[in-house]
């Protein structure tokens, strides 16, 4: 995907790259920040309480993200024994990432409306494209990460809510089989035309429509048909 953009429209490729780094950095930084606020400084000691993208980029995950649209950043470490409430503080740390993505999507949406809706810049201006891509990427990352499957952020909430012996079989299935099912879904989505993650893409575009006050599908098509 990135290579196609790079050869077709280098400027849009750069905007896409910066938007990805921005999105991942805010997500991981938020995990680290909430961890510190809840009493654990592990992430800070390991240099993760920073807005420097280099600290959060996993080389393999980032390359796969550029090539196939799916990847990952470095997981933010924390020690549950340092937390005030290990069970629920772990949930707060996990959900801080998706919540930060929602806030960033809203902020980018407001900026887009002010600048593009107010005719300060043209809709195909590189800043407008960056803001639009930031909206979509943040929404996709938020919705993907709240899937209740290990190692995604949503799994922490799932395990906290179903923390009872009678749910042990379900917890074991989600912990062991869930990642395998998720991996297969990601591979099928990346290498075929099947939209397995429609439950993410459809809400993401619907929220995006509301944020920019227009059709995100249409704007997306206009960006990527311009080269």
Report, as residue numbers or ranges, the catalytic residues.
Answer: 28
Decide: 56 and 32 in contact? Cβ < 8 Å.
no
The Cβ of residue 187 has, within 10 Å, a number of other Cβ atoms equal to 13
In DSSP notation, 88-101 reads HHHHHHHHHHHHHH
Decide: 130 and 223 in contact? Cβ < 8 Å.
no
Question: CA-based diameter of the chain, in Å?
Answer: 58
Query: For residue 90, which of 150, 160, 168 has the smallest C-alpha distance?
Result: 160
Q: Which two tokens stand for residue 188?
A: 């099928």
């Amino acid at each position: 995907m990135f290579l196609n953009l790079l050869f077709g429209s280098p400027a849009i490729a750069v905007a896409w790259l910066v938007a990805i780094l921005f999105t991942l950095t805010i997500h991981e930084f938020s995990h680290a920040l909430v961890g510190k606020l809840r009493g654990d400084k592990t992430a800070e000691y390991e240099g993760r309480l920073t807005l420097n993208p280099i600290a959060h980029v996993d080389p393999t995950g980032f390359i796969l993200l550029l090539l196939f649209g799916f990847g990952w950043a470095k997981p933010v470490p924390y020690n549950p024994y340092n937390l005030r409430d290990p069970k629920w503080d772990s949930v707060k740390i996990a959900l801080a990432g998706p919540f930060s993505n929602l806030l960033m999507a809203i902020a980018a949406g407001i900026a887009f409306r002010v600048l593009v809706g107010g005719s300060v810049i043209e809709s195909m201006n590189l800043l407008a494209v960056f803001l639009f891509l930031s909206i979509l990427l943040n929404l996709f990352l938020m919705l993907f990460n709240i899937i209740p499957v290990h190692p995604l952020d949503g799994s922490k909430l799932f395990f906290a809510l179903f923390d009872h012996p009678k749910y042990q079989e379900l917890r074991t299935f989600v912990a062991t089989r869930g990642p395998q099912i998720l991996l297969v879904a990601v591979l099928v989505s990346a290498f075929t035309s099947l939209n397995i993650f429609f439950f993410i893409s459809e809400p993401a575009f619907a929220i995006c429509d509301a944020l920019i006050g227009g059709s995100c599908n249409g704007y997306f098509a206009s960006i990527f048909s311009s080269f």
